Structure formats: C-alpha cells, structure tokens
Amino acid sequence: MRDGENAARAILDAGLAFGAERPAYLWGDAVLPYGALDARARRFAAFLAARAIAPGERVLLVLPDTPAFAVAFLGAMLAGACPVPLNTNLTTEDYAFLRDDAGARLVVTVAGHTALGAVTQDVQGVCCNDLGPPEIKNFSSELAAHPANDALPGFMLYSSGSTGRPKGVPHHQRDLLIPSATWGHLLGLSGRDIVFSSSKCFFAYGLLANLALPLAVGASVVLFPGKPGPGEVFDILAGRSPTAFFGVPTLYNLMIRTFEPGLRQHVPAICFSAGEALPGVLHEIWLELTGREILDGIGSTEAFNVFIANSKGASRAGFAGRPVPGFETRLVDDGGAEVAPGTEGNLLIRGPGLCRGYWNRPDKTRETMLEDGWMRTGDVFVEKDGWFAHLGRSDDMLKSGGQWVSPVAVEEALLRHPAVAECAVAARRVNGLDVVCAYVTPVPDAGPEKALGAAWREFLRACLPEHMCPALFVCVPQLPKTATGKVQRFKLRQL
C-alpha cells in the first residue's frame, strides 16, 4: 500500500478488480455486488462530510451484520473518519460511556435501537436499514477518498477484557490491509471463496472474517444478522455453500453434538476456530465426523490479526499452531526473561499492524506495549518443536501444590468423558487455600452429581498428574460466557 493511500479505497479496489458485479455480501435472499458496495460507501463518506465529520473523528457504529455495516465502516474510512464498531447488545449507559470515552459526535445505528439513548443535543444519530441510511440512496455527491494519516486513528475497536472498563484499541488505516497479506495468505483465501463467520462484525475476529480478509481478495461474504446457533449455521452451510467457516470452540462443540451424517457434504474446506483454545478432542471428533480439520488459531483486538495459527493440511490437534509468517514470538517469565525450551511462558509478539497504544489509557499502554515493538498478549503458551500450545490467559492460570496448572489442559482431558457436554476449570478458595475446581455441564440424563463427580475424578486420575486433578466438581446448567463465546472463568471464581 502506498504512503497516504486510503485503506478503504484500497480494499474496495482490490475487490472491484474482480468485477463490479461480483457479489460482495449475501444476506437473506439479497445480494450486494462490489460495485454497489463501492458506490454506497462513497455516498456514505460524502454524507458524513456533509455532516461536518472531520478526519480522525470517531463515529460509533451500532449495527447488526448486514451490508449497512460494511457501507458505514468503509464509508467512514473513505471520509478519513474513524469508525468504532460497538457490540449491539449493550445498555444505554454503556453506549453513553463509550460515546464519551471515544469523544464521538455521531452514532450510526438502526431504528429503535437502545444506542439511540446515547444521542444528545451535541451527538447526532443516523438510522440505517440493511443497506445503510436510506438518505444515501439518492445522495448526489460522492467523495474522493481522504488520504490516510497515521497521526489520526483509522478505525477503533473496544476490547472488554474479563474485568474493568472497556479499552479503546485504535488502529492505523493501513492495519486493515495487513491481515489479508499475513493470516489470509496462510489460509489461501481467494476470490473464489465464500466465507461465513459466526462472530459478529463488531468483534475483531468478525471484522477480520467478514470484511478485512474477504474483501481484500474479492471473495463473497454470507452475513447473518443475529447470533447463529448450530442449526442456523448448518442451514447456511447447506444453503449457501461457503468455502470457509470461522467459528469458536463453543459453537463447534454444539455443532458436533447436533451433527447428522447428511451434513458432512456441506462442511467447508476451511473450518477455522479462534476466540479460545480449541480442545484437541473437538478437533479429533470434527475430523472424524466431517473429514475436515479445524484450523485453530489465536488473535487479538490489539493485533487486529491472528498471529499464531494452524494451516491447511498441516494442523495439529491441541495446538494453536505456529507463528503466522510476519510475526515474531517470545515466551518470557514474569520478570521478562526468556523461558527454557518446553517451559510455559507469557507470550510476547511483534509484527505489522499491532495497536501502538490504547485510547487515552497510558497506564494500560505501558503494561502492554513494550520496547522495540513487542506486545504482551496476556496469554500463556508452551512451545514444542515450533508448535505453540495455549495454556490459558495469564489471569486464569492457577497454582496447586505449588505447581502451575493450565485450566485448558484439564478441560481438554475432562471433555473426553462421555458425560461432559461442556466444562471450565478455575481456582476455588476452600479453607483459605486455592483448589482446582471443575465446573461441568453434564450431557442430558447423565445421572446424579455425586456419582458423576466420582466418575470424573477416576477418569482424570488415569490421564493427568495428581496436582492437575480437580479437588472439586460442580455441576452447572450452563457456563458463563462473553458475547464472543469465551468462558468467563473469573465469574466461576466468584461462585
């Protein structure tokens, strides 16, 4: 990309190079071709300029997954403004907080949405239908793309983390183009692909899968405005024949539990998983049922990319994969010293497109963004022969008998028991001491909790060292999860 080149212009041009008629977005029975996406985004840019939205100004997007999201996101970037996609399921107070934190004067949403409660005398609201604000259809003006400027935020996402208030993660405009040249290249995505992601556009993973990766190569994207359950995903796989599916471990687990042999033919060649460590057992069962690998990987909002991933034909169950070409990795102890090979350590990464600092949070920036371009990911990994196994978030690691226990490793073993539908492992305080506790959702009609606990204890003793075996088993009807499907282990610790 040339210096100063507008990244939204570049990504639209990349898609348009395959022909204006090629479908960019498919949703319901409708299709939005690349040519129409481009025209709408340019009109949206002019529409923002007419509302005196300045370069670098944050524009909140509270939009479900329909083409209106892409029109508003790319249109705002074409105008040089900074789109800020937000979770569509927040409260009015949350939107007011984020509006003030981002210093936004414009909220783009849909009619009747709670986010309209954040509109004030000084903050405008714009309502969209599936294709963007109805006004832009007849908007006569179109804006030439505003040059990119690294001194201004190009787009910004909010990272909620497990606790504390959300942090704005600003990215330069050009960071939008890096994932396609790195992770997308590893996946081998091309203009022939049709992608579908269960993760929503307002999350980094969803924005990558629904916009940054596919548009850069002229692929088509199937959008689903709600939160798809396993049945809806299978309907889309059967009805739209995507060639690449981006999901999360919880959803793959549900899909495995409801899988029917007739669905095998509809499973795409690329099945990717991120958001949480994929238990190796899910990879193995999926491969057996569908004949397809699940490519696990790990990314972050701060990286706006996946930086460790498995690749097609060379995946390993139980491993997040190898560093994506372009990224460097280091595993360090709490003092920052490199750990010995085969020892667990905190993962640091360095590579193109990482966030340079949080929005108005110098304290958090200092903790996370280190010298020489290295960034703390907050994840603990162990490396074996170049392959990285994810042991959990550093906050979730627990100590038992003076030794570190990876909740991910215990969950992986327990999930292999036939009476376990889902499980999560966290420390629980008993008589002033932390003990390993497994929270389990049993399969239906699995039997009484006491007998199950005894069976699980015996099962794990046969495959895990003593210090990793949970001292307690607690049955729960469901596990607490974030909107992205990540288990909230900190909530379990509070039970």
Query: Which of these, 29, 1, 165, lies nearest to 98 by C-alpha position?
Result: 165
Site string for ligand 3SK, 453-492 (x = CB under 6 A): -------------------------------x--------
Q: How far is the CB of 494 from ligand 3SK (least distance, A)?
A: 22
Per CB under 6 A, 180 contacts ligand 3SK: no
Per CB under 6 A, 208 contacts ligand 3SK: yes
Per CB under 6 A, 397 contacts ligand 3SK: no
Torsion region of 132: left, alpha or beta (phi above 0 gives left; psi -120 to 50 gives alpha): left
Q: Which residue in the set 133, 268, 275, 392 belongs to the binding site for ligand 3SK (CB under 6 A)?
A: 275
Q: Are 131 and 33 in contact (CB under 8 A)?
A: no
Q: Which residue in the set 168, 299, 345, 470 belongs to the binding site for ligand 3SK (CB under 6 A)?
A: 299
For Cα atoms 214, 45, 305, give the angle at the middle one, nearest 5 degrees.
30
- Tell me the C-alpha distance between 333 and 116, whole Å: 46
Q: How far is the CB of 138 from ligand 3SK (least distance, A)?
A: 37
Q: How far is the CB of 157 from ligand 3SK (least distance, A)?
A: 8
Q: Which is nearer to ligand 3SK, 46 or 303 (CB)?
A: 303
Q: How far is the CB of 143 from ligand 3SK (least distance, A)?
A: 30
How many residues sit in the footprint of ligand 3SK (CB under 6 A)? 10
Q: How far is the CB of 155 from ligand 3SK (least distance, A)?
A: 14
Q: Which is nearer to ligand 3SK, 46 or 209 (CB)?
A: 209
Q: Which is nearer to ligand 3SK, 210 or 406 (CB)?
A: 210
Q: Which residue in the set 306, 349, 413, 437 belongs to the binding site for ligand 3SK (CB under 6 A)?
A: 306
Residues sharing a CB contact under 8 Å with residue 462, sequence separation 6 or more, in sequence order: none
Q: Which is nearer to ligand 3SK, 276 or 344 (CB)?
A: 276
Query: Which of these, 242, 301, 228, 235, lies nearest to 270 by C-alpha position?
Result: 242
Burial 444-477 (b: 16+ CB within 10 A, else e): eebeeeeebbebbeebbeeebeeebbbeebebee
Write out the DSSP string of 315-378: --TT--BEEPTT-EEEEE-TTSPBPPTTS-EEEEEE-TT---S-TT-HHHHHHHB-GGG-EEEE
Count of C-beta atoms within a 10 Å radius of residue 323: 17
Q: Which residue in the set 300, 368, 400, 406 belongs to the binding site for ligand 3SK (CB under 6 A)?
A: 300
Given the rule CB under 6 A, which of 122-130, 167-175, 215-223, 295-303 is the region that contacts ligand 3SK?
295-303
- Tell me the C-alpha distance between 343 and 333, whole Å: 9
Q: Which is nearer to ligand 3SK, 223 or 277 (CB)?
A: 277
Token pair of 301 as six digits: 């909002």
- Tell me the C-alpha distance between 167 and 237, whole Å: 35
Q: Which is nearer to ligand 3SK, 6 or 160 (CB)?
A: 160
Q: Which residue in the set 197, 250, 290, 301 belongs to the binding site for ligand 3SK (CB under 6 A)?
A: 301
Residues sharing a CB contact under 8 Å with residue 205, sequence separation 6 or more, in sequence order: 197, 199, 246, 248, 274, 275, 299, 484
Query: Which of these, 325, 327, 322, lies nearest to 352 by C-alpha position?
Result: 327
Given the rule CB under 6 A, which of 190-198, 200-208, 366-374, 420-428 is the region that contacts ligand 3SK?
200-208
Q: How far is the CB of 295 from ligand 3SK (least distance, A)?
A: 12
Q: Which residue in the set 196, 205, 286, 359 belongs to the binding site for ligand 3SK (CB under 6 A)?
A: 205
Q: Which residue in the set 60, 143, 194, 274 belongs to the binding site for ligand 3SK (CB under 6 A)?
A: 274
- Tell me the C-alpha distance between 99 and 84, whole Å: 10
- Tell me the C-alpha distance between 402 and 491, whole Å: 23
Under the rule (CB under 6 A), what is the footprint of ligand 3SK? 204-205, 208, 274-275, 299-301, 306, 484
